[in-house]
Structure 1
Amino acid sequence: MSAGSGLRAIGLDGFRNGWVAVLLDGDLHAIRFCHDVGEALSVRFDRAAIDIPIGMTDDGERACDLLARERLRPHSSRVFTGARRWLWREFSDPDRANRDASRRGQKRVSRQLWHLGPKIMEVDRFVRANRTHDVREVHPELVFLRLNDCKPLPSKKSEDGIRLRRLLLKREGIRAIDRWLAAERIGTGAKCDDVLDACAVAIAARDAAGCIPEGVAPRDAYGLPMQIWS
């Protein structure tokens, strides 16, 4: 039995209409499609993990992001970097935000990361308001890399990538993945990779094999840890 297998664990991955929430509690496995993080984490859990930055610096530089990019080579671009609270607090337009980033001598934010802003800020508000909850940052690609014996995986958008990830999840005991990807996903707005990623994040919440950086997590200005688990 793995160290975290007695935990009631939840894994969350964002999609356009909200969050995919996968619950792993012994033999009980369930999936829900929730509007917001509060709804997704309104059920009882021992540990939750989420594929979103937790803890941010003023300049967007985090050691955990750089370490994750290094570990995922040659697919470093699968890790988005540069999340900063002021981007979304002060600006509603990415071009204006990037002009200000340049003025501050900081890196510009990518369009992909910019559009994740509402979800990043939603999670930021939740974890700061619920500090007694065990909610950890997880990158699903690091989990899949671990499950695949540290061998790089094809893109999660490709048929081969989806097939391999499904196989790895089944090996971890998630037998309902085929049904979740078909009957339960259709009509929700979630894509196949959203469901696959939520499952991987849930596995990390349940089993928590390791983290980067190791040891005591660096903290941001609000005391939130900046550490990615897998």
Structure 2
Amino acid sequence: MPETAQSAPVCVAGVDGCKAGWIAVFRWVGSDRPSEVKIFPHFADLLASEFKPQKIAVDMPIGLPKQIGSVGRGPEKAVRPLLGMRQSTVFSIPARAAIYCEDYREACSAALAHSTPPKKVSKQAFHIFPKIREIDQLMTPELEERVFEVHPEVAFWRLNGQEPIAVPKKVKGSSYPAGLDARRDLLVQYDYTASFLDQKPPKGAARDDLMDAAVNAVIAERLLTGQAEPFPADFGRDERGLRMAIWA
């Protein structure tokens, strides 16, 4: 019987920022085609790739407030209580004005001016500003049909029976093998092979980047099938109309 449009395999992608740009894990829903991993120098390259993923789950903030209140940006506030000891992996994201500063001191000044009470920027958050800008410059409300903000530790929480992974992925800034192995062992329950997850990552990416992209791809599949939920459920939108929610 010929394959119908309804039953045709659908590509989804999980994406994480890495040293080389963006690492993407592609999954084909409704097909036995094995998952694939690719590096893209720019997020726009991924959007235009031959794989044409219908849902893209990316670990990067989308939707930037003009002003940050006492509770911070809504998605971060919503997911931190879920993660227990892993909640430190959720960075505080400042207002858009700070994100567009390329100097750390200027970013702190802008963050102070656009937050109540005034709050500076962490060095960890500042280091991902270029990638936040890259996506922010591409995003439109229409593109939200394809591109969704996720967070790997929230994704692992979801797949782990809504319990955070007990062991960290990194210790003192370095990959922690036991934590990565625990995440691999969970992901093999979601149609990955251990050999895929244990492969040497592409040049310019690390093992934790590959693991994060892989779990994000599972959430992309949940988005495709309507199983993913936004945090917060009553998410807001920024001044450009962009949704502010972490999906899992």
TM range (shorter): 0.7 to 0.9
Give 1:214's match in structure 2, choosing from 233, 236, 239: 233
From the two aligned structures, give the one with the greater strand fraction: 2
2:43–2:135 contact (8 Å) kept in structure 1:
yes
In 1, the alpha carbon distance for the partners of 2:24 and 2:62 equals: 17
Give 1:17's match in structure 2, choosing from 11, 17, 20: 20
| Structure 1 residue 79 corresponds to structure 2 residue 90 | yes
Where structure 1 has 5 or more consecutive residues not aligned to the other structure, the ranges are none
In 2, the alpha carbon distance for the partners of 1:59 and 1:6 equals: 42
Amino acid at match of 2:46: A
Aligned-residue offset at 1:75: 2.2
CA gap 1:42/1:100 in 2 versus in 1, 3 angstroms: closer
Aligned-residue offset at 1:130: 5.9
Give 1:31's match in structure 2, choosing from 37, 54, 69: 37
Task: Show the counterpart of 2:59.
Answer: 51
Moved over 4 A (4+): none
CA gap 1:109/1:151 in 2 versus in 1, 3 angstroms: same
How many residues align structurally?
221
Secondary structure of the equivalent of 1:226? strand
In 2, the alpha carbon distance for the partners of 1:100 and 1:55 equals: 17
Give 1:201's match in structure 2, choosing from 216, 227, 230: 216
1:31–1:180 contact (8 Å) kept in structure 2:
no
Pairing 1:175-186 to 2, within 5 Å after superposition: 175=193, 177-179=194-196, 181-183=198-200, 185-186=201-202
Give 1:162's match in structure 2, choosing from 168, 177, 180: 180
C-alpha RMSD of matched pairs (Å): 2.1
State the TM-score, normalized to the length of structure 1: 0.88
2:184–2:197 contact (8 Å) kept in structure 1:
no
Identity %: 31
**Mean Cα deviation higher: 74-83 or 91-100:** 91-100
Give 2:104's match in structure 1, choosing from 85, 94, 104: 94
In 2, the alpha carbon distance for the partners of 1:13 and 1:80 equals: 15
Aligned-residue offset at 1:156: 1.1
Secondary structure of the equivalent of 2:25? strand
In 2, the alpha carbon distance for the partners of 1:121 and 1:21 equals: 19
Amino acid at match of 2:65: T
Aligned-residue offset at 1:210: 1.9
Aligned-residue offset at 1:132: 6.4
In 1, the alpha carbon distance for the partners of 2:198 and 2:142 equals: 31
Pairing 1:122-201 to 2, within 5 Å after superposition: 122-128=134-140, 131=143, 133-153=145-165, 154-157=167-170, 158-175=176-193, 177-179=194-196, 181-183=198-200, 185-186=201-202, 188-201=203-216
Where structure 2 has 5 or more consecutive residues not aligned to the other structure, the ranges are 1-7, 171-175
In 1, the alpha carbon distance for the partners of 2:131 and 2:61 equals: 10
Task: Show the counterpart of 2:242.
Answer: 224
